[in-house]
Amino acid sequence: CSSDLMVRCQEQGIETRVIHNASIINAVGCCGLQLYRFGQVLSMCFWTETWRPDSWYPRLLANKKEGVHTLLLLDIKVKEVSDENLARGKKIYEKPRFMSIHQALEQLKEVELNRQGGAINESSVFIGLARVGSSTQQVVAGTMDELLKVDFGEPLHSLILAGDIHECEAEHTSLFAVNKDSIKIGRA
Protein backbone atom coordinates (compact mmCIF):
# COMPACT_ATOMS: atom_id res chain seq x y z
CA CYS A 1 0.00 0.00 0.00
CA SER A 2 1.13 3.57 -0.62
CA SER A 3 1.34 4.49 3.07
CA ASP A 4 3.83 1.65 3.64
CA LEU A 5 5.91 2.89 0.73
CA MET A 6 5.91 6.41 2.14
CA VAL A 7 7.00 5.16 5.57
CA ARG A 8 9.85 3.11 4.07
CA CYS A 9 10.97 6.09 1.96
CA GLN A 10 10.90 8.35 5.02
CA GLU A 11 13.01 5.86 6.96
CA GLN A 12 15.60 5.91 4.17
CA GLY A 13 15.56 9.68 3.79
CA ILE A 14 13.87 9.59 0.38
CA GLU A 15 11.61 12.54 -0.31
CA THR A 16 8.04 11.64 -1.28
CA ARG A 17 5.12 13.59 -2.64
CA VAL A 18 1.55 12.48 -3.31
CA ILE A 19 -0.04 13.59 -6.55
CA HIS A 20 -3.78 13.06 -6.25
CA ASN A 21 -5.62 11.57 -9.18
CA ALA A 22 -9.06 12.55 -10.43
CA SER A 23 -11.73 10.12 -9.27
CA ILE A 24 -15.44 9.68 -9.71
CA ILE A 25 -15.58 9.44 -5.91
CA ASN A 26 -15.02 13.19 -5.58
CA ALA A 27 -16.06 14.28 -9.09
CA VAL A 28 -19.70 13.39 -8.31
CA GLY A 29 -19.88 16.70 -6.47
CA CYS A 30 -20.74 18.19 -9.87
CA CYS A 31 -24.31 16.93 -9.43
CA GLY A 32 -25.04 19.19 -6.47
CA LEU A 33 -25.05 16.63 -3.68
CA GLN A 34 -22.65 17.28 -0.81
CA LEU A 35 -19.82 14.76 -0.67
CA TYR A 36 -19.91 14.34 3.10
CA ARG A 37 -23.52 13.16 2.82
CA PHE A 38 -22.59 10.01 0.88
CA GLY A 39 -22.66 6.59 2.51
CA GLN A 40 -21.03 3.39 1.36
CA VAL A 41 -20.04 3.30 -2.31
CA LEU A 42 -21.37 0.22 -4.09
CA SER A 43 -20.32 -1.61 -7.25
CA MET A 44 -22.77 -3.15 -9.68
CA CYS A 45 -21.48 -5.83 -12.00
CA PHE A 46 -22.78 -7.24 -15.24
CA TRP A 47 -25.08 -10.18 -14.71
CA THR A 48 -24.84 -13.41 -16.64
CA GLU A 49 -27.48 -16.06 -17.22
CA THR A 50 -26.26 -18.01 -14.19
CA TRP A 51 -24.78 -15.30 -11.96
CA ARG A 52 -26.93 -12.42 -10.70
CA PRO A 53 -25.31 -11.11 -7.53
CA ASP A 54 -27.24 -8.78 -5.26
CA SER A 55 -24.95 -8.89 -2.22
CA TRP A 56 -24.76 -5.08 -2.39
CA TYR A 57 -28.46 -4.71 -1.54
CA PRO A 58 -28.14 -4.70 2.30
CA ARG A 59 -25.63 -1.83 2.06
CA LEU A 60 -27.96 0.06 -0.29
CA LEU A 61 -30.77 -0.43 2.23
CA ALA A 62 -28.51 0.68 5.11
CA ASN A 63 -27.60 3.88 3.25
CA LYS A 64 -31.30 4.50 2.60
CA LYS A 65 -32.18 4.02 6.28
CA GLU A 66 -29.38 6.42 7.29
CA GLY A 67 -30.63 8.98 4.75
CA VAL A 68 -27.28 9.18 2.95
CA HIS A 69 -26.62 9.19 -0.79
CA THR A 70 -25.29 6.07 -2.55
CA LEU A 71 -22.79 6.22 -5.39
CA LEU A 72 -23.14 3.17 -7.60
CA LEU A 73 -20.05 2.34 -9.62
CA LEU A 74 -21.05 0.59 -12.83
CA ASP A 75 -19.13 -2.36 -14.24
CA ILE A 76 -16.37 -2.01 -16.80
CA LYS A 77 -15.12 -5.05 -18.72
CA VAL A 78 -11.85 -4.31 -20.48
CA LYS A 79 -9.26 -6.92 -21.47
CA GLU A 80 -11.51 -9.73 -20.25
CA VAL A 81 -11.12 -13.31 -21.45
CA SER A 82 -14.34 -15.31 -21.84
CA ASP A 83 -14.85 -18.39 -19.64
CA GLU A 84 -14.73 -20.54 -22.76
CA ASN A 85 -11.39 -19.12 -23.94
CA LEU A 86 -10.02 -19.24 -20.41
CA ALA A 87 -10.90 -22.94 -20.15
CA ARG A 88 -9.11 -23.57 -23.47
CA GLY A 89 -6.07 -21.59 -22.41
CA LYS A 90 -6.60 -19.00 -25.15
CA LYS A 91 -5.71 -15.42 -24.36
CA ILE A 92 -8.36 -13.88 -26.61
CA TYR A 93 -9.89 -10.72 -25.22
CA GLU A 94 -13.56 -9.90 -25.38
CA LYS A 95 -14.79 -6.60 -26.80
CA PRO A 96 -14.79 -3.92 -24.04
CA ARG A 97 -18.16 -3.42 -22.33
CA PHE A 98 -19.32 -0.62 -20.08
CA MET A 99 -22.47 -0.87 -17.96
CA SER A 100 -25.00 1.81 -18.78
CA ILE A 101 -27.22 3.71 -16.41
CA HIS A 102 -30.22 1.95 -17.95
CA GLN A 103 -28.71 -1.50 -17.26
CA ALA A 104 -28.00 -0.52 -13.65
CA LEU A 105 -31.53 0.83 -13.15
CA GLU A 106 -33.05 -2.37 -14.54
CA GLN A 107 -30.92 -4.45 -12.16
CA LEU A 108 -31.91 -2.25 -9.23
CA LYS A 109 -35.56 -2.63 -10.17
CA GLU A 110 -35.31 -6.42 -10.37
CA VAL A 111 -33.40 -6.77 -7.09
CA GLU A 112 -35.87 -4.51 -5.27
CA LEU A 113 -38.75 -6.56 -6.69
CA ASN A 114 -37.13 -9.76 -5.37
CA ARG A 115 -35.91 -8.42 -2.02
CA GLN A 116 -38.78 -5.98 -1.29
CA GLY A 117 -36.76 -4.19 1.40
CA GLY A 118 -37.81 -0.69 0.41
CA ALA A 119 -34.41 0.62 -0.70
CA ILE A 120 -36.03 2.15 -3.77
CA ASN A 121 -39.53 3.06 -4.88
CA GLU A 122 -41.25 4.94 -7.71
CA SER A 123 -40.41 8.33 -6.17
CA SER A 124 -36.74 7.61 -5.37
CA VAL A 125 -34.44 10.26 -6.81
CA PHE A 126 -31.57 9.06 -8.96
CA ILE A 127 -28.84 11.05 -10.62
CA GLY A 128 -27.29 9.67 -13.77
CA LEU A 129 -23.79 10.85 -14.58
CA ALA A 130 -22.07 10.28 -17.91
CA ARG A 131 -18.53 11.18 -18.96
CA VAL A 132 -17.93 13.27 -15.82
CA GLY A 133 -15.14 15.76 -16.28
CA SER A 134 -15.25 15.72 -20.08
CA SER A 135 -16.60 18.38 -22.41
CA THR A 136 -19.62 16.11 -23.04
CA GLN A 137 -20.42 15.57 -19.36
CA GLN A 138 -24.07 14.81 -18.72
CA VAL A 139 -25.88 14.99 -15.38
CA VAL A 140 -29.59 14.18 -15.14
CA ALA A 141 -31.70 13.89 -11.98
CA GLY A 142 -35.09 12.25 -11.69
CA THR A 143 -37.01 9.13 -10.83
CA MET A 144 -36.09 5.74 -12.21
CA ASP A 145 -38.79 5.96 -14.87
CA GLU A 146 -37.63 9.43 -15.89
CA LEU A 147 -33.98 8.37 -16.20
CA LEU A 148 -34.90 5.27 -18.21
CA LYS A 149 -36.19 7.64 -20.91
CA VAL A 150 -32.90 9.61 -21.12
CA ASP A 151 -30.20 8.83 -23.68
CA PHE A 152 -26.97 9.06 -21.70
CA GLY A 153 -24.81 8.29 -24.73
CA GLU A 154 -21.27 7.00 -24.61
CA PRO A 155 -19.62 5.67 -21.42
CA LEU A 156 -18.42 6.03 -18.73
CA HIS A 157 -21.58 6.09 -16.61
CA SER A 158 -22.19 6.26 -12.87
CA LEU A 159 -25.41 6.39 -10.89
CA ILE A 160 -26.42 7.92 -7.57
CA LEU A 161 -29.41 7.00 -5.44
CA ALA A 162 -30.10 10.17 -3.46
CA GLY A 163 -30.77 9.87 0.24
CA ASP A 164 -32.31 12.69 2.24
CA ILE A 165 -31.88 15.83 0.17
CA HIS A 166 -30.89 19.02 1.98
CA GLU A 167 -32.37 22.32 0.83
CA CYS A 168 -29.12 23.58 -0.72
CA GLU A 169 -28.61 20.22 -2.45
CA ALA A 170 -32.13 20.36 -3.89
CA GLU A 171 -31.51 23.80 -5.34
CA HIS A 172 -28.35 22.68 -7.18
CA THR A 173 -29.61 19.22 -8.14
CA SER A 174 -32.84 20.64 -9.56
CA LEU A 175 -30.71 22.33 -12.24
CA PHE A 176 -30.30 18.83 -13.73
CA ALA A 177 -33.82 17.55 -13.07
CA VAL A 178 -36.03 16.07 -15.75
CA ASN A 179 -38.91 17.30 -13.60
CA LYS A 180 -38.10 19.75 -10.80
CA ASP A 181 -41.06 18.38 -8.78
CA SER A 182 -39.19 15.04 -8.49
CA ILE A 183 -36.50 16.62 -6.29
CA LYS A 184 -37.96 16.66 -2.80
CA ILE A 185 -36.24 18.20 0.21
CA GLY A 186 -35.99 15.97 3.27
CA ARG A 187 -36.50 12.29 3.91
CA ALA A 188 -36.01 10.07 0.86
Q: Note the pLDDT of residue 117.
A: 96
The pLDDT score that the predictor gives to residue 92 is 82
Check pLDDT > 60 for residue 51.
yes
pLDDT tens, position by position, 10-23? 899 999 887 777 78
Find the range with the poorest average confidence among 3-12, 55-64, 68-77, 154-163. Answer: 3-12
Most confident among 7-16, 107-116, 171-180 (mean pLDDT): 107-116
Q: How many other CB atoms are found less than 10 A from the CB of residue 82?
A: 12
Nearest one of 174, 175, 135, 176 to 184, comparing CA atoms: 174
Highest-scoring range by mean pLDDT, 77-86, 103-112, 163-172: 103-112
CB atoms within 10 A of CB 8: 11
Distance (Å, rounded) from C-alpha 165 to C-alpha 184?
7
Continuous segment of H or E residues that includes residue 90? none
Q: Span 96-118, mean pLDDT?
A: 97
pLDDT at 6 over 90: no
**pTM of the shown model:** 0.86
State pLDDT tens for residues 136-159.
999 999 999 999 999 999 999 999
Query: Is pLDDT at 162 greater than 60 in this prediction?
Result: yes
The confidence score (pLDDT) of residue 147 equals: 98
Name which of 42, 81, 44, 79 is nearest 59 in CA terms.
42
